[in-house]
């Protein structure tokens, strides 16, 4: 009950409540002191720098600002590159995050605790170290470097057919008839479909590669200093966000509704779309927003794997740094202002979502047993 309600009902009680409140309160000096300290720190560390970014960016007018962003070929390329790499990394993490959260929240399996711990690994490891580890694997001096350089594309038929096998395996289980008596023919061999698809895909791809050269032969497949490396590094650094957000949400929602859906005749797929997704959508959106924000601003890991080639592998944060080093303050701040703007937009969406996320476990109303107003 709020204090207003009390005062309307009984002024005497309100006075007593005020007294209690006073007794529980800290002295004015402490209250004001702490408030000023908090506001002061935020002002110096956050507000003034953000304002400064925009002031410097626009210091020579709006025209110069947009020239800095769009007329400069390398800067414009950096913006485009970031807008290419980030969605791929976020999409990859979305799929990974949902799978991992589902596995952890719904099943118990050997290695569950390890998986939970490993999801947090990117938070613990310095991004530079993450970048270096990719260089160590895919770089010229790395384990796979010489092969990738010699004839990297020859790995493509293998990769694509393995991927096809994975997808066909998933599709197989989604289409599998529930009733064991209805499982005839191919449905009696669970692994056959995936293996068959893998073999056929591989044969077709190998044939095409042999005679029509789908991928260039004897050419190096660039991972490091190229887009694949950027995507890998970005995805690695941001992969906890979606899973971290979903695990508690899914645990709070529980599996009862999903089981109910199954007993009511929903297939696994129907259950996922009609029950699971609506229940976790706000948590999911929140995770994607955070993941996206972090992916756009990623510097350390990307710095190591990108090679910093202007107009080729420079993303926005890298471009900012380069322009800054070249004493092009306005150009650098112009790009920075775009990132800052994106951050502010993210913050606004995040705050909006935050109001819905904790409620998602109970929305649209509390599901606790409520035994009032009974009329059986």
Partner 1 sequence: MSILINGVSKTFGSFKALDNVNLEVPDGSLLALLGPSGSGKTTLLRIIAGLEIADSGTVVHQNEDITHHPPRDRKVGFVFQHYALFRHMTVAENIGFGLRMRKVSKAKIEERVRELLQLIRLEGLGSRYPGQLSGGQRQRVALARSLAAQPRVLLLDEPFGALDAKVRQELRHWLRKLHKEIHVTSIFVTHDQEEALEVADKVVVMNEGRIEQIGTPEEVYDHPKTPFVYQFLGNVNLFHGRVHNGRAHIGGLEVEAPEHADAVHTPAVAYVRPHDFEISKTRNGGGSSWFEATIDQLLAVGPVARLDLKRPGSDEPIQAEISRDQYRDLDLSEGDKVFIRPRRLKLFAGEERPTGT
Q: Which residues bind partner 1 (CB under 8 A)?
A: 178-180, 256-257, 259-267, 270, 274-275, 278-279, 362-367, 369-374, 376
Q: Which is nearer to partner 1, 264 or 348 (CB)?
A: 264
Q: Which is nearer to partner 1, 222 or 274 (CB)?
A: 274
DSSP state of 187: G
Angle, alpha carbons 368-369-374 (nearest 5°): 140
Query: Counting beta carbons within 10 angstroms of the beta carbon of residue 66, is it exposed (0 to 12), middle (13 to 18) or buried (19 or more)?
Result: exposed
Q: Closest separation between CB of residue 252 and partner 1, Å?
A: 12
Let me know: does 206 contact 156? Beta carbons within 8 Å: no
DSSP secondary structure of 303-339: HHHHTT-TTTT--HHHHHHHHHHTT-HHHHHHHHHHH
Q: Closest separation between CB of residue 114 and partner 1, Å?
A: 19
Q: Which is nearer to partner 1, 88 or 262 (CB)?
A: 262
Q: Which is nearer to partner 1, 37 or 277 (CB)?
A: 277
Q: Closest separation between CB of residue 369 and partner 1, Å?
A: 4
Give the number of other CB atoms < 10 A from CB of residue 25.
10
- Dist. CA 331–CA 321, nearest whole Å: 10
Q: Closest separation between CB of residue 177 and partner 1, Å?
A: 9
- Dist. CA 185–CA 211, nearest whole Å: 35
Residue 214: CB partners within 8 Å, gap ≥ 6?
156, 205, 208
Q: Which is nearer to partner 1, 77 or 356 (CB)?
A: 356
**For residue 372, is it left (φ>0), alpha (ψ between -120 and 50) or beta?**
beta
Q: Closest separation between CB of residue 256 and partner 1, Å?
A: 4
Q: Which is nearer to partner 1, 77 or 274 (CB)?
A: 274
Q: Closest separation between CB of residue 165 and partner 1, Å?
A: 24
């Amino acid at each position: 009950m709020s204090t207003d309600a009390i005062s309307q009902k009984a002024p005497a009680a309100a006075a007593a409540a005020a007294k209690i409140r006073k007794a529980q309160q800290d002295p004015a000096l402490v209250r004001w002191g702490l408030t000023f300290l908090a506001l002061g720190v935020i002002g110096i560390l956050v507000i003034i720098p953000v304002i400064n970014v925009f002031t410097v960016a626009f210091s020579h007018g709006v025209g110069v600002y947009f020239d800095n962003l769009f007329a400069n070929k390398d800067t414009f390329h950096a913006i485009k590159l970031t807008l290419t790499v980030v969605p791929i990394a976020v999409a990859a993490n979305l799929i990974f995050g949902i799978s991992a959260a589902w596995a952890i929240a719904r099943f118990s399996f050997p290695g569950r605790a390890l998986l939970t711990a490993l999801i947090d690994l990117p938070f613990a490891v310095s991004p530079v170290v993450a970048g270096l580890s990719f260089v160590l694997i895919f770089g010229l001096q790395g384990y796979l470097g010489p092969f990738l350089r010699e004839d990297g594309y020859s790995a493509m038929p293998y990769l694509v057919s393995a991927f096809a096998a994975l997808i066909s395996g998933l599709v197989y289980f989604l289409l599998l008839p529930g009733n064991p008596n209805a499982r005839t023919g191919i449905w009696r061999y669970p692994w056959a479909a995936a293996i068959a698809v893998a073999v056929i895909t591989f044969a077709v791809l190998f044939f095409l590669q042999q005679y029509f050269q789908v991928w260039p032969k004897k050419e190096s497949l660039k991972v490091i200093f190229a887009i694949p490396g950027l995507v890998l590094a970005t995805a690695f650094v941001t992969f906890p966000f979606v899973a971290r957000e979903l695990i508690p949400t899914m645990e709070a929602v529980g599996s009862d509704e999903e089981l109910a859906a199954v007993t009511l005749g929903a297939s696994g797929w129907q259950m996922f779309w009609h029950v699971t997704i609506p229940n976790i959508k706000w948590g999911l959106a929140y995770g994607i927003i955070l993941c996206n924000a972090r992916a756009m601003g990623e510097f350390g890991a990307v710095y190591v794997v990108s090679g910093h080639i202007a107009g080729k592998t420079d993303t926005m944060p890298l471009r900012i740094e380069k322009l800054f080093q070249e004493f092009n303050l306005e150009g650098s701040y112009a790009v920075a202002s775009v990132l800052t703007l994106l951050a502010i937009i993210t913050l606004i969406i995040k705050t909006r979502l935050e109001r819905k996320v904790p409620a998602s476990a109970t929305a649209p109303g509390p599901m606790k047993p409520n035994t009032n107003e009974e009329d059986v």
